[in-house]
Amino acid sequence: MDFFPFFLSFIFIILHLLGQRFVQGEVDIQRHHHHHKEPITKLFVFGDSYADTGNIKRGFAPSWKHPYGVTFPGKPAGRFSDGRVLTDYIAKYLKVKSPASYRIRKHLAPHHLKNGMSFAFGGTGVFETLNPGPNMTTQINFFQKAIQDKVFTASDIRKSVALVSVAGNDYTRYTVTNGSIQGLPSFILSVVNQTIRNVIRIKELGVKKVIISNLQPVGCLPSVTASSSFKECNETSNNLLVAYHNTLLTEAVTKLNQQLNDNSSLPFIVLDLYDSFMSVLKHPSTHNIKNELEPCCVGVSSKYFCGSVVEKVKKYTVCENPKSAFFWDLVHPTDAGWRAVYTRLRITNAFKEIHY
């Protein structure tokens, strides 16, 4: 069942944007001492599979099938990884537990709500994608409803941080359903514009800080590098699609922060997944990672993906040691991969603006 067509086709278009070149951001290695002016007690999460901790219904996605979750929590739990995902590491930084999944909201005791809630659904985007699941606008509607229903109080929201993940499902749909090279720049602009509308809405609902991930180096994903037997990143995808998205996002967020004119602390923070993925992929041994571009879990042929079982026969293989792999499947990092990315984010002081 091709529930996630992006497992099969993550084809990115060559974009001839004149003069558009990727310039690696300078590494900010200053270390500020941050002070908790107010404790952050909750994390609210929006977006896709890089952040989803179990919102898709059981049985409806590979994230609920073996061998997903084999490292953590030891069985499939709805995460698109062998273990933890971005949300879990951000929660770790904030010293809160991973927030509860929206899916099980009706079964949660009040104490389960104390870490916030995740509204992220794997496969989704800011617009409609090839996959079912609520787009980010709808996810924010769920959040708004939870506030109206007093699931979270105004004081809860004031002490919270939001994480917004946009990892590219909108672009996969664009590539499959339209594919016009001429139309891509304006589509990228509309994705970034919609992302900005979304984060403004989240802020207006009372959240103090919104962390927005930029696009990871899509050209390094195994779905793309399979054609080079996982030997090298496709720089065309990285330099054009990803660089343009990330440049627009950074510009828009900078402008937004300036407009709010609160110099005490920046309400919107871009989380540089591009730099952190690239840094780990360029220096894998620093993180005890081997064969950095090879996915740990793969289908036995292009017909199958990680987790495929046909008539009780496994149609996939898992590497010997997921803890030394960066990629888990064709598009998602392993637990160790996310840990390495998190380590890099901490080294570059990416979270210095989180506290307020």
Ligand X SMILES: *[C@@H]1O[C@H](CO)[C@@H](O)[C@H](O)[C@H]1NC(C)=O
Q: How far is the CB of 349 from ligand X (least distance, A)?
A: 22
27 scored as a contact of ligand X (CB under 6 A): no
| Burial class, 186, CB count within 10 angstroms (exposed 0-12 / middle 13-18 / buried 19+) | exposed
Q: How far is the CB of 317 from ligand X (least distance, A)?
A: 24
Q: Which is nearer to ligand X, 115 or 223 (CB)?
A: 223
Residue 316's DSSP bridge partners are 299
Question: Cα(first)–Cα(last) distance of the chain, in Å?
Answer: 46
x/- track of binding to ligand X for residues 60-99 (CB under 6 A)? ----------------------------------------
Q: How far is the CB of 52 from ligand X (least distance, A)?
A: 17
DSSP letter assigned to residue 238: I
Q: Which is nearer to ligand X, 144 or 236 (CB)?
A: 236
Helix (H/G/I), strand (E/B), else coil: 305: coil
Q: How far is the CB of 157 from ligand X (least distance, A)?
A: 21
Kindly tell me which residue out of 234, 238, 246, 308 binds ligand X, with binding defined by CB under 6 A. 234
Kindly tell me which residue out of 3, 8, 11, 22 binds ligand X, with binding defined by CB under 6 A. 11
- Measured in degrees and rounded to the nearest 5, phi and psi for residue 327 equal -95, 140
Q: Which stretch binds ligand X (CB under 6 A): 97-105, 108-116, 161-169, 228-236?
A: 228-236
- Measured in degrees and rounded to the nearest 5, phi and psi for residue 158 equal -60, -30
Q: Which is nearer to ligand X, 41 or 141 (CB)?
A: 141
Phi-psi region of 22 (alpha: psi -120 to 50; beta: other; left: phi over 0): beta
x/- track of binding to ligand X for residues 241-270 (CB under 6 A)? --------------------xxxx------
Listed residue (4, 102, 7) closest to 46, CA to CA: 102
Kindly tell me which residue out of 8, 17, 113, 189 binds ligand X, with binding defined by CB under 6 A. 189
CB atoms within 10 A of CB 41: 17
Q: Please give the Cα distance from 303 to 36 (Å, whole number).
A: 50
Q: Please give the Cα distance from 317 to 304 (Å, whole number).
A: 11
Kindly tell me which residue out of 153, 155, 180, 321 binds ligand X, with binding defined by CB under 6 A. 180
Q: How far is the CB of 263 from ligand X (least distance, A)?
A: 4
| Beta carbons of 186 and 171 less than 8 angstroms apart | no
Q: Which is nearer to ligand X, 39 or 183 (CB)?
A: 183
Q: How far is the CB of 234 from ligand X (least distance, A)?
A: 4
Q: Which is nearer to ligand X, 249 or 297 (CB)?
A: 249
| Beta carbons of 256 and 200 less than 8 angstroms apart | yes
Nearest-CB residue for ligand X: 183
Q: Which is nearer to ligand X, 68 or 327 (CB)?
A: 327
H/E element holding 116? strand 116-118
H/E element holding 310? strand 309-310
Kindly tell me which residue out of 138, 153, 254, 321 binds ligand X, with binding defined by CB under 6 A. 138
Kindly tell me which residue out of 190, 250, 265, 324 binds ligand X, with binding defined by CB under 6 A. 190
Q: Which residues are catalytic?
A: 49, 329, 332
| Beta carbons of 41 and 114 less than 8 angstroms apart | yes
Kindly tell me which residue out of 9, 60, 128, 314 binds ligand X, with binding defined by CB under 6 A. 128
* Rg value, the chain, Cα: 19
Kindly tell me which residue out of 27, 37, 155, 183 binds ligand X, with binding defined by CB under 6 A. 183
Q: How far is the CB of 172 from ligand X (least distance, A)?
A: 12
| Beta carbons of 301 and 330 less than 8 angstroms apart | no
Helix (H/G/I), strand (E/B), else coil: 45: strand
Q: Which is nearer to ligand X, 208 or 287 (CB)?
A: 208
Q: Please give the Cα distance from 117 to 161 (Å, whole number).
A: 11
Residues that bind ligand X in the complex, under the rule CB under 6 A: 11-14, 127-128, 135, 137-138, 178, 180, 182-183, 186, 189-190, 193-194, 227-228, 234, 236-237, 261-264
